[in-house]
Structure 1
Amino acid sequence: MHKYRWGVNPYDIEKWINDMALQGWHLQKFTWARFTFERGEKGSYIYRHDEIERLATPYEDDYLEFLQAAGIELVDRSGNIVFFRKSASEGPFELYTDKKTKISNLSKKMTLLLSLLLLNLVFGITGLSGDFSGPATDWLGLTVNIANVLIVLLLIIPFFRLIRLRKQLKRDLDVFTD
């Protein structure tokens, strides 16, 4: 079964994938918006995500071998997002990523999202300001410019959710443990 879900917050996606696993749908593959699930036993796996650098780092193979030795299976990787799973019968598991790294990863996502927001906003507003100046209306141009503004309106909500999540992580940051 394929499901489509767009989200910029990997923690929300992880929660959704674990909810799907509780219903008996287990993640097999994913891309940025398409998730492939396979029917299986309800609640048999717990899923966790991690963010690994895009370019192969010297520690990546060691990290993956360490997780495999601990009974944690690599499900799939798309870009720098990786999903792992472990049998729920072995109990819960966490992948440790310090809060500073999580904050840094969220900041990168926010920068990309802000760039997309501003780019679409500039194109949309400049295009709309010029559409009504001529004797005839360019309907295709008007449609594209309205779509740019709508994209801004759609992206602003996830952007502010990332800001709130980053603020929460910064507030919880403990110098002695992270």
Structure 2
Amino acid sequence: MDKYRLVVNPYDIERWVNDMANQGWHLKKFTWIRFTFERGEPGSYIYRHDELERFGTSYEDEYLEFLNSSGIEQVDRSGHFVFFRKSANDGPFELYSDKKNKISKLSQKISVLLSLILLNLVLAVIGLSGIFSAQAIDWIKLSMNITNILVVVLFSIPLLKLMHVRHKLKKDLDLYTD
């Protein structure tokens, strides 16, 4: 079964994949938008994600070998985003990623989303400012500008969620490092 979700907030995606596993749908493959699940025993796996900066580095193989020796299986990888799973019978597991690294990754995502939002906002404002000065409305240009505004609105929601997650991580970081 294929499901489609845009990978913006990795923590929401991880929660969703674990909810699917609890319903008996186990992740088999994924890309940045398409997730393929296969039917299995409900709740038999726990899934975690990692964003490997180690991609292509010499110690990446050692890291993956260490995880494998710990009973953690790599499910699939899309770019630097990787999903792992472990049998739920072994109990919960966490992948170690320090808060500074998580904050850095979230900041990169926030920058990309913010750039996309600002670009679409500028294009929409410029486009709309000239559309109504003409005697006849160009419906194609108007629809393109409305699409730009929709992109701004739709991507603002995940942007705010990512900023909230980053703020919580920064708060925890400050709390535990002082």
Shift of 1:55: 4.8
State the partner residue of 1:129: 129
State the partner residue of 1:31: 31
Are residues 1:175 and 2:173 paired? no
CA contact (8 A) 2:44 2:88 kept: yes
Q: Find the aligned partners of 2:104 and 2:161 in 1 and give their Cα distance.
A: 15
**Paired residue type of 1:107:** S
CA contact (8 A) 1:28 1:37 kept: yes
**Paired residue type of 2:49:** H
CA RMSD, Structure 1 to Structure 2 (Å): 1.2
CA offsets, 1:58-101, max 9 Å, x none?
22111111111111111011121100001111111110101010
CA contact (8 A) 2:30 2:77 kept: yes
Q: Find the aligned partners of 2:32 and 2:7 in 1 and give their Cα distance.
A: 8
State the partner residue of 1:20: 20
CA contact (8 A) 1:117 1:152 kept: yes
Q: Find the aligned partners of 1:22 and 1:145 in 2 and give their Cα distance.
A: 42
Q: Find the aligned partners of 2:127 and 2:60 in 1 and give their Cα distance.
A: 46
Shift of 1:135: 2.4
CA contact (8 A) 1:24 1:39 kept: yes
Are the structure 2 counterparts of residues 8 and 54 from structure 1 closer, same or farther at C-alpha, using a change threshold of 3 Å? farther
**Paired residue type of 1:19:** D
**Paired residue type of 1:100:** K
**Paired residue type of 1:137:** I
CA contact (8 A) 1:54 1:79 kept: no
Tell which deviates more after alignment, 129-138 or 44-53.
129-138
Unpaired segments ≥5 residues, structure 2:
none
State the partner residue of 2:110: 110
CA contact (8 A) 1:29 1:36 kept: yes
Shift of 1:136: 2.1
State the partner residue of 2:119: 119
SS at match of 1:117: helix
Q: Find the aligned partners of 2:104 and 2:13 in 1 and give their Cα distance.
A: 19
State the partner residue of 1:82: 82
**Aligned sequence identity (%):** 66
State the partner residue of 2:155: 155
Give TM-score, length-normalised by structure 1. 0.95
Shift of 1:157: 1.1
CA contact (8 A) 1:73 1:85 kept: yes
State the partner residue of 2:69: 69
Runs of 4+ in 1 over 6 A off after TM superposition: none
Give TM-score, length-normalised by structure 2. 0.95
Shift of 1:138: 1.4
